[in-house]
Amino acid sequence: MSNAGFKQAIWYLLPALVVMAVFTYYPLGNAIVQSFNRNRSPDNYELSLKTYEYLINDRDFKVALRNTFLYTAVVTPVSIAISILIASMLVSIQRLRTFFQTIFFIPYVTSAVAVAFTWAFLFNTDRGLVNLFLGNLFHLPKIRWLTDPNVANYTVIIFGIWRSLAFNILILTTGMLSVDPQYYKAAQVDGASATTAFVRITLPLISPVIAYLFTIGMINAFKVFNEVYTLIGNLSRSVSAHTLVVYIFDAVWRARDYSLASAASVVLLLVVLVLTAFSRWVSSKTNFYG
């Protein structure tokens, strides 16, 4: 690009750069600085590593970190696997495909808070439809889905899988429909079954889409907050179902400890950066396009 073209382009980029600098880079830099502040208030600053030492020894932080890793490790791959199956069925039908795509996409555009409140009612111990169904059909005792420390975390995971299906199905359906039909015709001539064609043709050709969904899903899973807070609420810590973002939220709004919240945010950022880099590395090693 010539100097004249660069000078012209910078004026178009400048507003976006200013917005990013004010609302992204400055808060990020301030959080990193405050994470080394041993005082709770950001008005007083004293350089120290005591906040990070506190995080290492804090049981609630360890539980939040464990829950976040568990949520990410289960929700991301399971959701993608289920989405691949549903997307393949949507691609195989001609009529009403748009209708079913819309039905599956509705949860994504619906408010997460409203949907979580609905699920909280479904998982209610005494009046929830889930316990009612399990009790009448399988004669199981009532399960405390949202108040039992051994169950609450898995309730959030179930909701997270369902919540993330909508976006994954839409992207995967679009990716599958973009595959050239000539590949399938050639496979049919060679006598390949539908399963073989799906494994040998569809999956390799949509591997970049799967890698993209895996990376985005992993990042969103580490940032999970609405699902936990609206589903369980203030009981998330008492039932050991809180995540890193819930921990950061409590540190700011309950404990008023900005240094602790900043340190936990920096840890979350580092974990996401490392896992994203690892995901991109794995994606480059498994790129079927070579």
Q: Is the pLDDT of residue 244 over 80?
A: yes
Q: For residue 219, what are the CA distances in angstroms to 72, 214, 222?
A: 8, 9, 5
Question: Could you tell me the pLDDT band of residue 43, with boundaries at 50, 70 and 90?
Answer: low
The pLDDT of residue 2 is 63
Whole-angstrom distance, CA of residue 240 vs CA of residue 67? 8
d(CA 100, CA 11): 44
- CA distances 132 to 119, 136, 137, 141, 171, Å, are 14, 6, 8, 10, 35
Is the model's pLDDT at 47 over the cut of 80? no
pLDDT above 50 for 266: yes
Burial of 201 (0-12, 13-18, 19+ CB in 10 A): middle
List b or e across 259-288, with b for residues whose CB sees 16 or more CB atoms inside 10 angstroms: bbbbbbbbbbeebbeebeeebeeebeeeee
Q: Among 266, 245, 87, which Cα is nearest to 156's?
A: 245
The pLDDT-based confidence of 41 (bands split at 50, 70, 90) is low
User: Residue 63 has what pLDDT?
Assistant: 94
pLDDT tens digits along 182-225: 988 898 888 888 889 998 999 989 988 998 999 999 999 999 99
User: How far is Cα of residue 103 from the mean position of the Cα atoms in its chain?
Assistant: 21
* pLDDT at residue 258 is higher than 60: yes
What pLDDT is attached to residue 248? 94
CB 232 within 8 A of CB 241: yes
CA 17/CA 32 separation, integer angstroms: 20
- pLDDT tens for each residue of 13-28: 888 899 999 998 998 8
Residue with tokens 């950022």: 269
- Residue, of 73 and 285, whose pLDDT is higher: 73
Express each pLDDT in 88-134 by its tens digit.
Answer: 988 888 777 778 878 888 878 888 788 888 888 899 888 888 999 99
Q: How confident is the model at residue 290 (pLDDT cuts 50, 70, 90)?
A: very low
Structure tokens at 108: 């994504």
Query: Nearest 5 degrees, angle CA 136-CA 139-CA 145?
Result: 85
User: How far is Cα 289 from Cα 276, in angstroms, rounded to an integer?
Assistant: 21
* Residue written as token pair 């900005």: 258
* C-alpha 122: how far from chain center: 22
Residues 166-185: tens digit of each pLDDT:
899 989 998 999 988 898 88
Contact between residue 169 and residue 86 where contact means Cβ atoms under 8 Å apart: yes
Torsional class of 139: left (φ above 0), alpha (ψ -120 to 50), beta (otherwise): left
β partners of residue 74: none
Residues 80 and 210: beta-carbon distance below 8 Å:
yes
Enumerate helices (H) and strands (E) in the chain, giving the number of each: 15, 0
Over residues 249-276, the mean pLDDT reads 90
* Rounded Cα distance, 72 and 79, in Å: 10
d(CA 70, CA 221): 10
Q: Report residue 47: phi and psi, to 5°.
A: -60, 130
